[in-house]
Amino acid sequence: MLSESLEDYLESILVLKYSNNTVRIKDLVEYHNVKNSSVVNAMKSLSASGHVNYEKYRHIDLTEAGLCRASRVYSKHRIIERFFENVLKIPTEKAKQMACEVEHHMELNHVEKLNCLTTYLLEENIQEIFTCAKSSYGLKGNEATTPLVLHKKDFCGVFVCFSKKPVRDRLAWMKLNKGERFTITRISLDGSIIEIHHGGGYHSISRDDAEAIQVTEDNNETIK
């Protein structure tokens, strides 16, 4: 079983190979900022385990097994770094450092799930989702928000955020935007349709969409 340090060397050989075509001991010394002897000992270990082809004074190449292992580690690193940088908004260099530390402790299937989650959150607009989550739990602003679906006829409110992209798109088409006021004028008997009055017009919103719409109470008078 390879140590974390040896996996890091495999990953760096792969990265350097893509950028420089050839990889030498001194390239790895500079890349890892370590002593020459440390790199030489690491290459001997990786050569003995069948992950690199290494001979003194010659270029270093990954074997088939080494390339497979390096590619897997690099892929995990990039996925974790993407999550840290694009979802958690951690600065790039810090995200790279943290990904390096985490990549060795996550199974590939866990990383694949993280990749799916990251893609979903970015496509759905992560900032919008976080805003809704914070608002729902009273973490932002003076008043916590609630889903539109929980309110009754004659409720006067203000749109705060829309947690699902399809819902945002549909409401944008109806010219319903964040920060605008509305009044619930009617709710169907089965609760599947909520009618609101907004900006001089009436709009019908499905129950499913209403669950993804966060609102707060409007303390001003009802919209006429």
Compute CA distances 216 → 143, 147, 158, 179, 181, whole Å. 7, 9, 5, 10, 10
pLDDT score of 125: 62
Residue 90 or residue 222, greater confidence: 90
Identify any residues that bridge with 187 across adjacent strands, giving them in sequence order: 194
The DSSP 8-state label assigned to residue 119 in this structure reads: H
Residue 128 confidence class, pLDDT cut points 50, 70, 90: low
User: 73 with 10: CB under 8 angstroms?
Assistant: yes
Tell me the average pLDDT across 20-24: 88
Q: What is 133-217's CATH number, 3.30.300.30, 2.40.40.20, 1.10.510.10, 2.30.30.90?
A: 2.30.30.90
pLDDT score of 139: 45
Tell me the average pLDDT across 203-212: 89
**Token pair for residue 51?**
């992950």
The rounded distance, in Å, linking the Cα atoms of 46 and 53 is 8
Q: Smallest Cα–Cα separation from 151: which of 186, 120, 124?
A: 186
**Token pair for residue 28?**
């790895």
Compute and round to an integer the Cα radius of gyration of the chain.
Answer: 27
pLDDT more than 70, % of the chain: 88
The rounded distance, in Å, linking the Cα atoms of 211 and 148 is 6
User: 183 with 222: CB under 8 angstroms?
Assistant: yes
CATH architecture of 4-123: Orthogonal Bundle (1.10)
Q: Smallest Cα–Cα separation from 1: which of 75, 51, 67, 59?
A: 51
pLDDT score of 142: 45
Residue 212 confidence class, pLDDT cut points 50, 70, 90: confident
| Phi, psi torsion values for 152, nearest 5 degrees | -110, 175
User: What residue spans define the domains of the chain?
Assistant: 4-123, 133-217
Tell me the average pLDDT across 65-86: 91
**Token pair for residue 179?**
């920060």
The DSSP 8-state label assigned to residue 135 in this structure reads: H
Ordered DSSP codes for 13-34: HHHHHHHHSS--HHHHHHHHT-
Question: Above 90 in pLDDT, residue 140?
Answer: no
The rounded distance, in Å, linking the Cα atoms of 164 and 32 is 43
Question: Above 50 in pLDDT, residue 174?
Answer: yes
Tell me the average pLDDT across 190-201: 87
Tell me the average pLDDT across 6-35: 92
Tell me the average pLDDT across 136-150: 63
